[in-house]
A and B are shown apart, each in its own frame.
Chain A
Amino acid sequence: MARGQRVLEFRIPSDVQCIERVVEAVRGECRRLAYAEHQLSLNVPVALTEAISNAILRGNAQDERKSVVVVARVDAARLVIEVSDQGSGFDLVACTRDPTTPEALESEDGRGLFLMRKLMDEVERVSKRGRNVVRMTLRRAG
Chain B
Amino acid sequence: MSYSISKQGDVSVVAIDGQLVVSNRQELKQGVLDSLEGGGRKFLVDFTDTSYIDSSGLGVLVSLSRKIRDHGGELRLAALNDDLRTLFELTKLDTLFQISDSRETALASF
The reply to whether chain A is a binding partner of chain B is yes
- Cβ proximity bits A110-129 to B, threshold 8 Å, 1 near / 0 not: 11101100100000000000
Q: Give the secondary structure class of B's interface.
A: helix
Q: Give the secondary structure class of A's interface.
A: helix
Chain A: interface size category = 20 to 34
A106 and B52 contact, CB distance less than 8 A? no
B90 and A118 contact, CB distance less than 8 A? yes
A1-54: which have CB < 8 Å to B? 16-17, 19-20, 38, 41-42, 45-46, 49-50, 53
Residue of A41, A110, A111, A118 with most partner-chain B CB within 10 A: A111
Q: How far is the CB of B37 from chain A (nearest CB, A)?
A: 19
8 closest A-B pairs by CB: A111-B55, A108-B59, A42-B83, A100-B92, A112-B55, A53-B22, A16-B23, A49-B54
Q: CB within 8 Å of A: which residues of B?
A: 19, 21-23, 51-56, 58-60, 62-63, 66, 82-83, 86-87, 90-93, 95-96
Q: Using A42-B83, A105-B93, A115-B87 as known contacts, list a sample of 7 further A-B pairs with CB atoms less than 8 Å apart, ordered by residue number in A.
A: A16-B22, A41-B51, A49-B21, A53-B54, A105-B62, A106-B96, A108-B62
